[in-house]
Amino acid sequence: MPAETTPVRNGESAEAMAGLLSAGDPGHPALIVPDSGAVLTYAQVASQLETLAQRLAGLGVRRGDKVAMCLPNGPAVALLLLAITALGAAAAPLNPAYTEPEFGFYLGDIVPRLLLVPAGGAAAATAAAATAGTTVVGVQAAADGPPELVGSSGPSAPLRSFELGGPDDVALVLHTSGTTSRPKQVPLRQRNIMASAGRIAAHYRLGRDDVSFCVMPLFHIHGLVASTFAALRGGGAVITPRRFTPRRFWPDAREHGATWLSAGPTLHQMILDRADEAGPPETLRFVRSCSSALSATLAERAEREYRAPILEAYGMTEASHQMSSNPLPPGARPVGSVGVPTGTQIGVVSQQGAFLPAGTAGEVVVRGPGVMAGYANNPTATAEAFFGDWFRTGDRGVLRDGYLYLEGRIKEMIIRGGENIAPAEIEQALLSHAAVRDAVCFGVPDEKYGELVGAAVTLAGEAEVADLIAHCRERLAPFKVPARIDVLTEIPRTATGKVQRRRVGEVVLQQRAAP
């Protein structure tokens, strides 16, 4: 049966984004910019986003419109996103690293009223917008006050009054990562995001003394809802660097008193690799890991070097990010678990949709106020993703003693001679070797068994492939041991640290076939 959660408070799921700043004192820091030392209070953020909303209204943005954004991290992204939602419009943040064809796909799928880019920059996005017929507006930093919006008609947009957006207005338009299919458009309403941000703030007991260090990209649900919106929901501050580097985390976190940060395992590893002698800030009270599986080896290292508990969480774009998380101490943090439900109900079902008892593996399903109503313009995908109001995550997992353990994406499971093999299990075994820095496991076609286990690794020390295979044999059943391991210089991942296993497998096979 599904794991129950604390009931949603009256009205929580119906809140609008306009209430996001309500927990903060007007004179309390809201956004901290370490690059310049600038600090925006809650009162200044409220004033600036109102001005930006008036300027966007002056450019023709109305309730129900979409506004695409191709901007680097920093306070302007948070301000503009909140200003867009204030109008009842939806923000569609895009990865600045996309190529022109990729921008073309997303602009064609979103059909935004405007595309916001750095003034004079984002050549690929601007070129794609010209082809798509999308109006481009430049965002230019101002010495004081909100950033300027530079359109074709002049240096700054005119001001125009607007009607405040409501809880049922779509606030964010994001896309799935497309690990197993074409990216799908996910519309998240203001009430979805506010419910998720509120539950994250409550789970980690975020308050006015807390300072989040936002290291994740703000074109992704993780950085937006967990690192930024949840922090503001608790009335605390967010460190929003314009140019984040793992090396700068340490001095900036100490200087501004960071109390927590959230990142994917790959970014945590990069931050830890660049630690300085002064160590973490004494103010750090917990560290959160999400977006991909956290290895036991990295978790142990992170707790030792951050000198704070690391809490692994489980989130998805379709659920407005967090669905479960390990609790703060003194709560238990079982190795390999992504924790207990947080503001959702979580169940495990069979292929036929029957709920399975605790301890039995199956597909993880969720429902709750953060879950989307369905994919945009894709009734087939929506019908496949839901049964009733339960959303099928596509992840395989098991519930034990109220804690959720994930085994990997169902479509990425390796089936060798009828045996289901979770890639994450083999990756964990490889990552437990002292010389392995990163690992990915995937299925390799085989005439006899259907699939064999293949793997690719990057190394942080000396190791022979034969040693790695022997290491796996000591920890895995014979049928799970990789038939072959390829050593790569880098395992390609998305901006949020996710790896597309089958595509990596295809790349490895192509490399083997190359003369």
- Quickly list DSSP for 72-105: -SSHHHHHHHHHHHHTT-EEEE--TT--HHHHHH
pLDDT, residue 45, reads 97
Structure tokens at 141: 């930093």
Q: What is the spatial distance between Cα 249 and Cα 246, in angstroms, rounded to a whole number?
A: 5
More confident residue, 447 or 308: 308
CA dihedral 448, 449, 450, 451 (to 10 degrees): -120
Range scoring the smallest mean pLDDT among 182-186, 283-287, 376-380: 182-186
**pLDDT class of 397 with cuts at 50, 70, 90:** very high
**pLDDT class of 250 with cuts at 50, 70, 90:** very high
Helix (H, G, I), strand (E, B) or coil at 32: strand
Closest CA to 13 of 221, 251, 188, 267: 188
Range scoring the smallest mean pLDDT among 90-99, 234-243, 247-256, 482-491: 482-491
**pLDDT class of 413 with cuts at 50, 70, 90:** confident
Sketch out the chain's domains with CATH numbers.
13-398 (3.40.50.12780), 413-513 (3.30.300.30)
DSSP 8-class letter at 131? H
Expressed in percent and rounded to 5, the helix, strand and coil fractions of the chain are: 30, 25, 40
Q: Model confidence over 458-503: pLDDT tens digits?
A: 999 999 999 999 999 999 988 999 999 999 888 877 766 677 666 6
List the end-to-end C-alpha distance of the chain, in Å, as a whole number: 54
Q: What is the spatial distance between Cα 510 and Cα 515, in angstroms, rounded to a whole number?
A: 10
**pLDDT class of 387 with cuts at 50, 70, 90:** very high
Q: What is the spatial distance between Cα 379 and Cα 480, in angstroms, rounded to a whole number?
A: 38
Structure tokens at 181: 């299919």
Element (H, E) at 270: helix 265-273
Residue 5 has pLDDT above 50, yes or no: no
> Would you say 288 and 278 are in contact if contact means Cβ atoms under 8 Å apart?
no
- Quickly list DSSP for 462-514: ---HHHHHHHHHTTS-GGGS-SEEEE-S-----TTS---HHHHHHHHHHHHH-
- Quickly list DSSP for 169-189: SEEEEEE---SSSS--EEEEE
Residue 449 has pLDDT above 90, yes or no: no
> Would you say 407 and 425 are in contact if contact means Cβ atoms under 8 Å apart?
yes
Sign of CA dihedral 180, 175, 288, 195: negative
Residue 141 has pLDDT above 60, yes or no: yes
More confident residue, 404 or 352: 404
**pLDDT class of 12 with cuts at 50, 70, 90:** very low
Q: Read off the pTM.
A: 0.85
Pairing of strands 403-409, 340-341: unpaired
Q: Model confidence over 332-351: pLDDT tens digits?
A: 999 899 999 999 999 999 98
Q: What is the spatial distance between Cα 426 and Cα 63, in angstroms, rounded to a whole number?
A: 49
> Would you say 158 and 55 are in contact if contact means Cβ atoms under 8 Å apart?
yes
Task: For the chain, state the CA radius of gyration.
Answer: 23
Q: Model confidence over 275-333: pLDDT tens digits?
A: 999 999 999 999 999 988 898 889 999 999 999 999 999 999 999 999 999 999 999 99
Closest CA to 504 of 514, 489, 492: 492
